[in-house]
Amino acid sequence: MDKLTYSAPEVAQLLGISRSAAYNLMHRDDFPSFRIGKRWLVRDSSLHEWLEKQSKLE
């Protein structure tokens, strides 16, 4: 089964960025993250959509 959500450390690993950069990204208004308890998460599909939008902006 594929993962539905990724945590900040997982996003860091996927994108090849530091954990602190991933947490900063998760707090941005234009990034599709959400919070459950103390954990910041992003849906797999939302992450892919956001990455597509970012690549089109460049």
List per-residue pLDDT tens for the chain, 58 residues long. Answer: 789 999 999 999 999 999 999 999 999 999 999 999 999 999 999 999 999 999 887 6
How far is Cα 40 from Cα 49, in angstroms, rounded to an integer?
18
Specify the pLDDT at position 46. 98
Q: Which residue has the tokens 């991933």?
A: 22
Q: Which residue has the tokens 């956001």?
A: 50
Q: Are 14 and 21 contacting, i.e. CB atoms less than 8 angstroms apart?
A: no
